[in-house]
Chain A
Amino acid sequence: MKNKRFYLIGLTVAVVLAGFLSFYASSSPDGLEKVAIDLGFIDTAKESAVADSALADYGVAGVENERLSVGLAGILGVIATGAIMMIIMRLIGRKKD
């Protein structure tokens, strides 16, 4: 498979997962949360300092439609992750020379 096609497919899969399928993700507590609830130390958790930020909890502030809100947040996350990662890789690559 050619590079371009390979990366295009890979990126599409990520966007579909974060932008569309994320809406259907289970909302049950994850493993750590569940253990914390069951044993009873969940109340030692403090709210994150960025808990009120525009993208907190994978939703875009002000977007009422839940499907749109989580999907947009997911796609923004994909873009941010990809951009930061590529910048870091470029910095690492450059220092080699």
Chain B
Amino acid sequence: MHIPDGFINIPTASASAALAVAGLGYSVRAAKEKLDEKAAPLVGLVAVFIFAGQMINFPVAAGTSGHLLGAVLAAVLVGPHAAALALTVVLAIQALLFADGGLTALGLNVFNMAIVGVWGGYGAFLLVRKVLRSTRSAVLVGSAIAAFISVPLAATAFSLQYAIGGQGTFAASTVFAAMFSTHIVIGIGEAVITTLTVGAILKTRPDLVFGMKKAKA
């Protein structure tokens, strides 16, 4: 889902970058407040795992692949504030070192994945967890549903950016329909990877999982 340079015009990219910076500013303040020092290594590990996971494209429908987004995975493990920072680090490294995602498009990508994907996905997670009374299985079900939703959610954010500043001449509704339907399928893979990973960590080190803390969430 990494937007290359050129898809979206510069004014829209700049506006997205400004929103992304505002979202990151909030995330940094929240992280300072809510994270204890013990959490830092897990944030590092989560960033590294997402970078690695995003290299593994899995086949979905004919001639299409998808890969981990990691927004909900990170949010459940380290909280949405640190997750937004982790996704941003991954996206910045991909754009700067690996030419994956455009440089002028970095603000678009950070907005869609690190802000909308993380905070929107975490909102969905909290909602499900609340409905299911905050048990351990509620954390797993919440992770699965939120991860599934986060992918078409980020795709919808792209569709909005395309509607505002797309350089192609296609109807916004056409782009939205194609993006949404494709990314719903990729969302299934996202849910599987997220649930398996959160499940493995809940089994070994439940004390580290941010999404298990009731008071802090």
Chain A contacts to B: CB under 8 angstroms: 1, 3, 6-7, 10-11, 13-15, 17-18, 21-22, 25-32, 34-36, 38-41, 44-51, 53, 55-58, 73-74, 76-78, 80-82, 84-86, 88-90, 92-93, 95-96
Instruction: Give bound CA distance, A18 to B55, whole Å.
Output: 6
Closest to A77 in B: B51
Is B22 in contact with chain A by the CB < 8 A criterion?
Answer: no
Q: Hey, which chain B residues are within 8 Å of A41, CB to CB?
A: 7, 166-170, 175
CB within 8 A of B99: which of A32, A34, A48, A80?
A: A48
Contact with A along B176-217 (1 / 0, CB 8 A): 001100110010000000000000000011001000000000
* Number of A-B pairs, beta carbon distance below 8 Å: 198
CB within 8 A of A6: which of B1, B35, B65, B204?
A: B204
Q: A35-B175, A46-B6, A55-B97 are in contact. Are A30 and B204 (CB under 8 A)?
A: no
Q: By the criterion of a CB under 8 Å from any partner CB, how many residues of chain B are at the interface?
A: 68
Contact B45 A38 (CB under 8 A): no
Which 7 A-B residue pairings sit nearest by Cβ, starting from the closest? A41-B168, A46-B6, A18-B52, A17-B52, A26-B65, A56-B99, A89-B40
Contact with A along B78-100 (1 / 0, CB 8 A): 00001001100110111111111
Q: Hey, which chain B residues are within 8 Å of A14, CB to CB?
A: 45, 48-49, 51-52
Q: Hey, which chain A residues are within 8 Å of B21, CB to CB?
A: none
21 pairs of residues in contact across A and B, judged by CB atoms under 8 Å: A7-B45, A13-B49, A14-B45, A25-B55, A29-B63, A30-B2, A30-B57, A30-B67, A31-B1, A32-B155, A32-B158, A41-B168, A41-B169, A46-B6, A48-B103, A57-B98, A57-B99, A58-B100, A77-B52, A85-B85, A85-B86
Contact B47 A82 (CB under 8 A): yes
Instruction: Give bound CA distance, A50 to B86, whole Å.
Output: 22
Instruction: Give bound CA distance, A77 to B85, whole Å.
Output: 17
Q: Hey, which chain A residues are within 8 Å of B49, CB to CB?
A: 10, 13-14, 17
Q: Hey, which chain B residues are within 8 Å of A93, CB to CB?
A: 35, 37, 40
Q: A84-B89, A85-B86, A85-B89 are in contact. Are A47 and B5 (CB under 8 A)?
A: yes
CB within 8 A of B5: which of A27, A48, A96?
A: A48
Is B140 in contact with chain A by the CB < 8 A criterion?
Answer: no
A1 to chain B, nearest CB (A): 5
Closest to B167 in A: A44
Q: A17-B53, A35-B182, A84-B89 are in contact. Are A55 and B98 (CB under 8 A)?
A: yes
Q: Hey, which chain A residues are within 8 Å of B93, CB to CB?
A: 77, 80-81, 84
A55 to chain B, nearest CB (A): 5
B193 to chain A, nearest CB (A): 11
Instruction: Give bound CA distance, A46 to B53, whole Å.
Output: 26
